[in-house]
C-alpha cells in the first residue's frame, strides 16, 4: 500500500520517454521523472522511492527529502507569495507552508522548525504547529541539559519548546524572558510531568535574559493581563512615572520586545503576542 510522504521500497515496472514507472505489490504506479546523469536502473530492480501526489497522480523521487512525514526539522523559506510561503526541502519541488500554519513573522532566507502533514487534497505541506507531532517518551532525567527550539508562545503558560526536535518541553511564563518563536535555547529539565512532558528552565539566563527595561515592561504586561495603554505617543512624564525610565528607553525596550515577536504595538498601547 502506497503511503504519501514516506520512502517506500518499489519495483521498476517500465520506462517511458519522461518517467521511470515503479509499482508496489498491488500494482499501483508511481511516476519518477528521469534526470540527467541518473544511474541506469534495470526493469524489475527495487528502489527506495519518496512518494507524493501531484496533478492527480502519484509521483516520486529517488532522493530522500530533508524531512518526511513524522519528522520535525529546520527548512529554509525561499519564497513568500499571496497564498503562503515555500520552503526548500531537498527535492526539485519546494514545500508549501500555508499562512494558517505559520507562527510569528516569516522571512525569506531564514530557517524555521516545521513538520510535514497531508492537507485535505492529499498535498504535502509544512506546518509550524508541531504540538501534536512531538513525543512524550524522552530519555531525560531531572537536571539534564537539553537543547530545543521555541515554536509557540502561550499567554499565561509560557514558551513551548521542541526539545531536540522530538519531545514536548515548556518554559513557564514566570521563568521566560528574552526569546521569541524560532529561537534556539539551552535549558535544564526541572520537572517530568505525569504525561511525560518536560518542564524546563533556561540553562544560562545571563545570556538569554532581556535587558532590564524590556524585562520590566514584559513583567508589567503579564501582571496586567496582557495589555498596557502606553505607546510611543504616551507623554514622557507618564512613562517616567509608570516605568521609571525615559521615553527613549521605553521605545527601545518595546522595539526589542516587538522584534522578538513577544508583543504587539498599536496607537492604543502594547499587548502580549498571542498565537
Task: Count CA atoms within 13 Å of residue 175 on its CB side.
Answer: 17
Q: Above 60 in pLDDT, residue 190? A: yes
Q: Would you place residue 178 in the very low, low, confident or very high pLDDT band (cuts 50, 70, 90)?
A: low
Q: Residue 211: what pLDDT?
A: 63
Q: Residue 208: what pLDDT?
A: 42
Q: Residue 143: what pLDDT?
A: 86
CA distance 118 to 262: 30
Q: Would you place residue 161 in the very low, low, confident or very high pLDDT band (cuts 50, 70, 90)?
A: very high
Q: Give me the DSSP letters along 175-244.
A: G--S--TT-EEEEEEEEE-TTS-EEEEES-HHHHPPPHHHHHHHHHHHHTTSEES--TTS-HHHHHHHHS
Q: Would you place residue 155 in the very low, low, confident or very high pLDDT band (cuts 50, 70, 90)?
A: confident
Residue found by looking up cell 516587538 in the block: 258
Q: Residue 70: what pLDDT?
A: 85
Phi-psi region of 95 (alpha: psi -120 to 50; beta: other; left: phi over 0): beta
Top-confidence residue, 155 or 89? 89
Residue found by looking up cell 535574559 in the block: 209
Q: Residue 270: what pLDDT?
A: 94
Residue 120 per-residue DSSP state: T
Residue 117 per-residue DSSP state: E
> Residue 52: which of 125, 101, 132 has the closest Cα?
125
Q: Domains plus CATH for the chain? A: 7-61 (2.40.50), 72-131 (2.40.50.140), 134-208 (2.40.50.140), 212-272 (1.10.10.10)
CA distance 79 to 95: 10
β-pairing, 57-61 with 29-33? parallel
Of the given ranges (79-93, 143-157, 204-218, 246-260), which has the lowest mean pLDDT?
204-218
Section 208-237 average pLDDT: 83
Q: Residue 89: what pLDDT?
A: 94
Q: Would you place residue 205 in the very low, low, confident or very high pLDDT band (cuts 50, 70, 90)?
A: very low
Section 3-30 average pLDDT: 93
Section 36-64 average pLDDT: 88
CA distance 226 to 217: 11
Q: Residue 275: what pLDDT?
A: 56
Residue found by looking up cell 513568500 in the block: 80
SS3 100: helix
Top-confidence residue, 64 or 214? 64
Round the average pLDDT of the chain to a whole number and report it.
Answer: 88
Section 36-49 average pLDDT: 85
Q: Residue 34: what pLDDT?
A: 86
Phi, psi of 251 (to 5 degrees): -65, -40
Of the given ranges (25-29, 242-246, 270-274), which has the lowest mean pLDDT?
270-274
CA distance 89 to 220: 41
Section 156-182 average pLDDT: 86
Q: Residue 153: what pLDDT?
A: 86
Top-confidence residue, 76 or 247? 76
CA distance 163 to 167: 5
Q: Above 80 in pLDDT, residue 44? A: yes
Top-confidence residue, 35 or 200? 200
Those residues whose C-beta lies under 8 Å from the C-beta of residue 194, and which sit 6 or more positions away, are none
Amino acid at each position: 500500500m502506497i503511503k504519501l510522504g514516506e520512502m517506500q521500497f518499489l519495483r521498476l515496472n517500465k520506462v517511458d520517454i519522461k518517467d521511470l514507472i515503479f509499482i508496489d505489490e498491488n500494482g499501483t504506479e508511481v511516476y519518477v521523472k528521469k534526470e540527467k546523469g541518473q544511474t541506469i536502473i534495470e526493469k524489475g530492480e527495487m528502489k527506495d522511492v519518496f512518494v507524493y501526489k501531484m496533478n492527480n497522480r502519484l509521483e516520486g523521487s529517488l532522493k530522500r527529502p530533508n524531512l518526511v512525514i513524522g519528522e520535525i526539522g529546520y527548512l529554509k523559506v525561499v519564497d513568500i507569495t499571496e497564498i503562503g510561503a515555500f520552503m526548500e526541502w531537498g527535492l526539485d519541488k519546494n514545500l508549501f507552508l500555508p499562512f494558517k500554519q505559520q507562527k510569528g513573522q516569516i522571512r525569506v532566507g531564514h530557517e524555521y522548525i516545521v513538520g510535514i502533514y497531508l492537507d485535505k487534497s492529499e498535498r504535502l505541506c509544512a506546518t509550524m504547529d508541531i504540538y501534536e507531532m512531538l513525543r512524550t517518551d524522552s530519555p531525560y532525567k531531572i537536571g539534564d541539559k537539553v537543547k530545543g527550539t521555541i515554536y509557540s508562545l502561550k499567554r499565561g503558560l509560557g514558551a513551548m519548546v521542541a526539545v531536540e526536535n522530538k519531545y514536548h518541553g515548556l518554559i513557564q511564563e514566570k521563568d521566560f524572558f528574552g526569546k521569541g518563536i524560532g529561537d534556539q535555547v539551552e535549558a535544564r529539565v526541572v520537572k517530568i510531568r505525569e504525561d511525560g512532558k518536560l518542564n524546563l528552565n533556561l540553562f544560562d539566563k545571563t545570556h538569554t535574559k532581556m535587558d532590564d527595561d524590556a524585562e520590566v515592561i514584559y513583567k508589567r504586561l503579564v501582571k496586567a493581563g496582557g495589555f498596557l495603554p502606553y505607546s510611543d505617543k504616551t507623554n514622557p512624564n507618564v512613562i517616567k512615572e509608570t516605568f521609571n525610565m525615559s521615553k527613549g528607553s521605553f521605545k527601545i525596550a518595546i522595539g526589542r520586545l516587538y522584534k522578538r515577536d513577544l508583543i504587539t504595538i498599536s496607537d492604543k498601547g502594547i499587548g502580549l503576542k498571542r498565537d
